[in-house]
Structures are given as structure tokens and as C-alpha cells.
Structure 1
Amino acid sequence: MTKIFNLIVCLCLINSVVYARRCLQCNSVTQPFDCSHVSECGRNEECYLEQYVSTDGIILYDVGCKATQLCTTSHGPFGKRRSIGTSICFACCNDKDVCNIDGHCSAEKFIPPTGSNICYKCHLSGRPDSCHQLTLCDQHSVCSIRQVTNFLGHIRWEHGCVNQAVCSSLSNHGGCSYCCDSPLCNYNCSKTHSVITSPSISSTTTAIQQTPPIVTQIVIRPTNIKYGDTVTIQCLVTGNPKPTIDFLVRGRRLGPNVQVDRTTHVLTISNFLPYDDGYYRCIAANLLGDVHKDFHIQGQP
């Protein structure tokens, strides 16, 4: 029964991600396009915009997500008093992401300069779809996302703008890395994008295939371990995005003579001792899940 409940919860969470609308989310901005932060709305929410007159007599806007049941076809609570001013217009939209930038409530409609695009911009995001800041890429740049690793070797993603001339090398970077030329296109590795490969090649539609991690082999050297040897263990894995790799030893912590290279993912045991005998575990993980493989190491006098 518990497993069925957990499955239902999991499916609900997946559905909420799939259908989440993204909207500008800011308070007290002069114009909606002055907001550069984006939030993911709930399944029963839409983008909204509220125009109000502050207590100082200044027209300002709040933008964000609002429950669908509170959204009406009219411009809502005209004259409603708030602690920060008086509301004079309220509007909702749900036709596309960031639709509350489109000039509702007499706001100035955002019209990007010719050749430019709104793109996501973040330095190190934990997931391709977890960037929530916007920027405007100029006519010489396109949106981009690049799979990188932080200083601990963990997979991260950089979102932003790059010159179209570097798109070919970016697409060969591996994992979830590409350029694209439509608004807000650089945030998701599991959908189809209009991907740019070079300035001289037209845009083509490319599906980026993701695969869960698989541990294909454990390589232990030397094969016949004697106490006092230096032992190396390499966990060979496949998967896209490129999986992270960690090691555990059953029943205790890794000893002080054990080091893991975060670049090569090779575990090295210096001066192998009887204390180091035991069951070890290699763990590989990416966005699509994690997998592990156990193995036993036994030294000889």
C-alpha cells in the first residue's frame, strides 16, 4: 500500500513539473519587463499582473503566479485598497511562458530589439530546468546551455548567451550543451529545440536523448591484492547527462588511506591493510536516477 501511495505521489510530482507554467515574479516594478526573475507556477495557477497606485501616487506592477480560480476575464479588483496602494487593474494569462510581460493592464509591452532574444542566465544550476533568471541576448548572440562540473566534480549547468560562432564547439561539448535561437529555449534537456550548430548552417530540430546511469564494469588493479599494495578501483558507467560517481564501504567510513580523484573518479587505497578488506559500493547518478554496484575486495599476506 505504501509503495502504491509513493508511486501516486511521484506521478503527481512528475505531472506538476510537466505542466508548470513559468511566469515573471516580482513586486513593485515600474514595468513588468523590469522584472528578471521567473517562477514556476503550480498546476492550477496562471501568470498574473496587477497594476496599482502606490501611497506615493506612483503606478507600479506586481507580477507572478495566481490561482486559476482567482483569475477572471475582467480586470478584477479595481479600486481595491492594499497596504501599499490602490489596485487599478488585474489580469491573468496562460497562453505561454512569461506571458505577463505582454502589455496587460496598459503596461508597456516588451518588444525586444531586432535579432535579440530573452534567454535564461545562471552560473551553476543544479538542474537544466532550475535556472530562474532572465537576460537579453543581443543580435550577435544566441541562447545557450552548457553542462559543466563544479570544483567537487558535480554536474552543473551554465545558462546564458554566447556568440553564434562558438555553437559548433558547444554542441560537441557533450551531455546537455547546445545553442538555440528562440525565446526561453535554453532550460530543458528533455524537449526538442531549434539547435544552432554554426553560423553557416540553418537551424535544425534535434532531440536530445537522455539515458539513466548504468554501471558497466568495476576495474580493480592489481587483480591479486597483497597487503601493502596500492590498489586502484575504477567504476565504468554510461548515461546522459554524464553521471556523477561516488564510493561507499559497507559498515564503516572510507579509511584515511583512501582517496577519490574527482576528475577521473578513480578510488585509490594506499598501503592496503586487513582493515581495508570488505564490501564496497560504486554509486552512479544523474537526473534520471541512480544505480549502484557492490563488489568485494580481499587482500592476501
Structure 2
Amino acid sequence: MPSYAICLVMSIALTVTDGGQMCGICSFITDPTDCDRVTECGQHEVCYVEKYASSGGHLLYDVGCKSSHECKSIVEKRREEIDDSPMSGDFQMCSSCCNDTKLCNVIGGHCGSQALDMSDRVLCYHCNHLRSPDQCETVRACPIYEQCYIEQSEGGLSGSLLWTSRCGHESGNCRSPGIPVDSVVGKKRSSEFCAACCSEDLCNNNCTLATGNGLTTPTTATGPLSIPVITFVTRLYDVQIGSYIHLTCRAHGNPTPKVSWSFSAPVKPENIRTENNGADIYIDGVTEENYGHYACNAMNSQGQDNRFVDILEHGPSG
């Protein structure tokens, strides 16, 4: 039989603000710093990190968003000793929340993970050929002197206007902080195209053009069609009666997929509510009626993708 020594340590109290924080959102990763996907958490949510051991004994992490109410009373669980015996199911070892900086659950060193020194680096969006400048959900840590960069250009056989965001050195255009838009527009680009450098974390997700009246207007573009791909879905462990649950599902695709949840029950329990156009569901005070099989579905005109989550009753301890 496996032997475990479990230490319970109350986490440091959080100073929590409501919503809007940018957090890493990944599952089944070997360290939070391996996560390069981000999302903006909803109202009353903060970033979280969970560390667990898989049934094969591998140490893995999940990162994402969690309700600030749940995080205020969170307890860190750490397994001090693991032998080589196989386990049945995943074993949660640590859960921690933060809200102090962007991507704090990726770079902050929570739950025994690697911390990143960002004093000489800046977080930049890093995507190619998107139809809108604010669609990028992947990031890179770039040297701060190189800045972040975003540009619009013609792409594909159709000549569609597409957006690229990346570290500044890859464009050869960002050489000093505060470089103006006019100086980074290439000679072969039309004056209707936009390009810009910036030096703040996650600043390269928009670009504006000057108009005749001195105002700026955001630009948009179209891109190739693609089927939906679900990139994140909440993982759950055993759930106790009376618990609070937040299920999140995120997907990519063009057109933007419609994300929704379904629950295999004859009647929808009254304590389930949806937000974010159906992509998030909340269960206030779990009852026996909430246990079962939940499915996330992402659908657009090109197809669909599905992921499944089981909410199981918390078994007796010991």
C-alpha cells in the first residue's frame, strides 16, 4: 500500500479585487511556466494553480481562473512522500490562488513550481495571421529592450488583411521605448496598414490608425475558416455536498465558436447558472442532483469539438 505524509498549511490571505485579471489557462502541464495560453478572468475571479499526481505517479499542474470567494479560504495540500506504487485516480497535492500581477499563476512559483524573474522581460502576445488583433491567446516572455510588436499585413492567396503579434526583435522595428507608429510602417505597406511597438505587459493586442480629424479608429481583418478546437476545460476532483463549482470551457476557431455546456439530467437543477454566453457555468451549493456527466460543446459553421467533465460525490476519508 502506498504511504503518504500530508501537510496542510493555510495559504497567506489574499487581497482580492474583482475580475479582469489576465491568467494562464492550461491543463496537464509539468510546470506552470510551460503554459503559454492566457485568458481574462471573469468578475469576482482570480488566478489559481493546482498541483496533482496522476494515476501513473506523474506530477502535473493545472492553471486557470477560480472564484475569489473560494480562494479566500483556500488550503494548500502538499504530499511530502510518494512511493512507486500505482494510485487509482489523480491525487490533488496543492491548490493556491493569486491576483497580484498578470499571469501570476504562471510566473509566481506557486505550489513548488519554478518562479520566473520578469524584471528584464515583458510579456507579449505571440500569434500569426489572426483576423482581429485582440484574438491572440498565446504569449511569450520577451527581453524588455525589444518590446512587444503588432502589425497588419496582407496574407494568403486572397490577400486578406491579417494580424501578427510577437516580440519586437523579430520584426527588426522596435529599437527603443515609445517608437511612433509612423516609423515602424514598412516602405511596402499601404498607409492604411497599422504597426506599433509597446513596452507594457500584454500591450500588443490592439493597433490604431490616425484619421483626418485627429482621432484613432481600431482596424479589423478576416482570415481563413477553421473548425473549433477546445483549448481548456475545468478539471474537477471529488466534490462535497454544499460546495461551490465553476466550470470553464475555452475554444478557438474561425468563425469564433459558440461554447455551451450540457448536463445529462431530466430536469436542470435550479442552482446552476450560466455566464459568458454559456461558456461558464456556476453551481451554488452542490446537491446530489448536480452529480453526473457534463459536456462542453464548441460549434461554428465549420464543425464542432467536445470535452467531458464528471462531477463525482466526495467519498469518505481514510
Calculate the TM-score normalised by the size of structure 1.
0.50
**1:22–1:40 CA contact under 8 A, matched in 2:** yes
Give me the identity figure in percent: 34
- How far does the alpha carbon of each residue in 1:179-200 deviate from its partner, in whole angstroms, 9 at most, with x for none? 12233221234xxxxxxxxxxx
Alignment of 1:31-180 (within 5 A): 31-75=31-75, 84-101=89-106, 102-112=108-118, 115-138=120-143, 141-151=146-156, 152-163=158-169, 166-167=173-174, 169-170=183-184, 176-180=194-198
Q: Distance in 1 between matches of 2:43 and 2:57?
A: 36
SS of equivalent to 1:130 = coil
Q: Which runs of 5+ in 2 are unaligned?
A: 1-18, 80-86, 223-318
CA–CA distance in structure 1, aligned partners of residues 26 and 98 of structure 2: 16
Cα deviation, 1:50-99, whole Å, max 9, x if unaligned, reads 111222333221101123333234335678xx974211211122233211
Q: Distance in 2 between matches of 1:58 and 1:154?
A: 45
Cα pair distance change 1:94/1:150, threshold 3 Å: same
Query: Measured at CA, do residues 154 and 20 of structure 1 come closer, stay the same or move farther in structure 2, by a change above 3 Å?
Result: farther
Once residues 53 and 141 of structure 1 are traced to their aligned partners in structure 2, the CA distance between those partners, rounded to angstroms, is 39
Q: Residues of 2 paired with 1:39 and 1:83: CA distance?
A: 32
Q: Output aligned runs, 1:1-301, within 5 Å.
A: 20-75=20-75, 84-101=89-106, 102-112=108-118, 115-138=120-143, 141-151=146-156, 152-163=158-169, 166-167=173-174, 169-170=183-184, 176-189=194-207, 240-242=217-219
The CA RMSD measured in Å over matched residues stands at: 3.6
Where 2:147 maps in the other structure, the secondary structure is strand
1:233-290 Cα distance to aligned partner (Å, 9 max, x none): xxxxx97345779xxxxxxxxxxxxxxxxxxxxxxxxxxxxxxxxxxxxxxxxxxxxx
User: 2-side partners of 1:65 and 1:210: how far apart?
Assistant: 37
Relative to its length, the structure with more helix (as a share) is: 1
Distance 1:149 1:78, change over 3 A: same
Deviation for aligned residue 1:162: 2.6
Give the partner amino acid of 2:46: E
The code of the aligned residue for 2:217 comes to N
Equivalenced residues, count:
182
Q: Which has the larger radius of gyration?
A: 1
The CA distance in 2 between the partners of 1:69 and 1:139, in whole Å, is 35
Letter in 2 for 1:74: I
- 1:183 and 1:239 map into 2 onto residues whose CA distance is 22
Match of 1:289 in 2: none
Task: Name the aligned partner's letter for residue 166 of structure 1.
Answer: N
